[in-house]
Structure 1
C-alpha cells in the first residue's frame, strides 16, 4: 500500500494543477474524486460512499481517502455531517419521485375513501423478518395502512416492516418508535423522500400475485439501498370488485 504524506497543502495551490502526478497520493485521489463529482457520478446533495468503499474503489488506504476528503472539505466541495459526506458542487438537485408513494398502493387523496395508518413497535411477520435480516423475535417499526370506500366495494390493507438499517439511517423514521402504540395516526407518505434525503438510493422490486379469487391481488414490495441493504418490505392486499392498481414511472431526460 502506498504511503501517504501528512495533510498540509498550501491553500493557494489549485486542487488539480498540471503537475498533479507529482503531488502527494491523497491529492491525486482528491482530484480523481472531484472529477467523478463534476461528471455527475454522485449528484449534488447525495451522500458519498463510505471511506471503506472509496478506499476499495481507488485502491488506496482509508487514511489516504480521509486526507483527500479533508482537502475537498477545505475547498468547500464536500460537506460532512453525522450522516456522512455530501457533494456540494453546484448542479441540478435530484428530483423527488412523483410516483413512488408510501406504502405501495396508497390511494391519492380521495374524500370518498376512509384511510387509517398506524405504527407499532413489535415483532414483524416471520417472512418480513427474514427479508430484512432481523434476528428471530426482534421487534422493529411496523406500519399498517387501511383504506376503504364507503360502499365497501374496495378495500386495501398494507403491512410494512422497516429494517434496522432504515431506522438507524433515517432520523424521521426512528422518531416514530416512541409513539408506536398502534393507536396514534401515522401517515408516512414521505418515507421514501426521507430515505433519499438521508443519502440512500432506493431500489424496489414489486411482485404481484393473485389471492384466492380473481377479485383480490397481493403486491409485495421490497426496497434496498445502493449497498444492497434491505430497508423495508410491504405486503399490500387489494380486495376490489372494480378497482385498479396504477403504476407510474418517470425517467429524467438524458443530459
Structure 2
C-alpha cells in the first residue's frame, strides 16, 4: 500500500483532518516560520493554532516525522527541512552590534524579571520600581579583547504583543541561558514595524564606545531600550539595517 505524504496532493477537504494539518504545518516550515533545527511549539499550542485536537496534531506530526521533515529528540520536535529558511529581508540578530566580529569564547545571555535602570524605565514609560523583562548579554573574543556587554529592558507593550518574549517571564531567574537572537523577528511576526534609533558616544579616557538603542513600533510605542558598551580597540562598529520595500 502506497504511503501518503502531505506533499503528495494539494490541500483538499477530502483529505483526513490530520493530513490537512500536516500540510499546513509543512507550509509554515517551508516559509521559515519555524527555521530548521528550531523546536516546534508543543502539541497543545499547535492544537490551539490549528483549531484541532491534540490527537490530530500528534497524527500530523507523525506524518512529517515519517517523511523525514521533523526530527525528534529529548528536547522535542525540530524542523528538518534541507537548506536555509526563507527569512525576512529585515531580519536583524538581537542584540544588534553586541556580537564581536571574531569568534567568541565568552558568549553569555540571561534574563531577569526586575525593575530596570531608571533611564530605561523612563524611556519605556514604566513607573519607577515596576519590574519588566531585562536581558543581559556578554561577548568576548578568543584573545580576551573586544569585550561587549548589552543590557536590554523590554516594555509592557512588547511583552503584551510578543508571545515569545512573554514566555520568558516564568524562567527569568538570571541563571539559565536565554539567547533572544530572533527577538526582532518575533516582534515583526506579531505585526510590529520596528524603528531603531542609535545614539553612539565615545567614552572619555577609555577605548570603549556606548551605544544606546531605542526601538519603537509604528504607533510610536516603545518596545525596548538597549545599553551597549563596546571595547572599540579592535573592532569597527558596523550596523546593518535592511528595510523592506513598500508593498
TM-score range, shorter chain: 0.5 to 0.7
Equivalence for 1:225:
217
Equivalence for 2:88:
95
The question of whether the paired residues in 2 share the 8 Å contact of 1:104 and 1:236 is answered with: no
Equivalence for 1:37:
none
1:83-133 deviations in whole A, cap 9, x for unaligned?
Answer: xxxxxxxxxx993424x3211213278544420000000000000000000
TM-score (norm 1): 0.59
Classify the secondary structure of the residue corresponding to 1:184.
Answer: coil
Equivalence for 2:106:
114
Equivalence for 1:125:
117
The question of whether the paired residues in 2 share the 8 Å contact of 1:206 and 1:220 is answered with: yes
Alignment of 1:1-255 (within 5 A): 95-98=88-91, 100-107=92-99, 111-213=103-205, 215-252=207-244
Deviates more, 1:187-196 or 1:206-215: 206-215
Unaligned runs of 5+ in 2: 1-85
Cα RMSD after superposing both structures: 2.3
Q: Matched residues in 1 for 2:130 and 2:223: separation?
A: 16
Distance 1:96 1:254, change over 3 A: closer
1:31-54 deviations in whole A, cap 9, x for unaligned?
Answer: xxxxxxxxxxxxxxxxxxxxxxxx
The question of whether the paired residues in 1 share the 8 Å contact of 2:135 and 2:152 is answered with: yes
Unaligned runs of 5+ in 1: 1-92
TM-score (norm 2): 0.61
Distance 1:173 1:112, change over 3 A: closer
Shift in Å, 1:214? 5.2
The question of whether the paired residues in 2 share the 8 Å contact of 1:140 and 1:163 is answered with: yes
Classify the secondary structure of the residue corresponding to 1:227.
Answer: coil
Deviates more, 1:119-128 or 1:149-158: 149-158
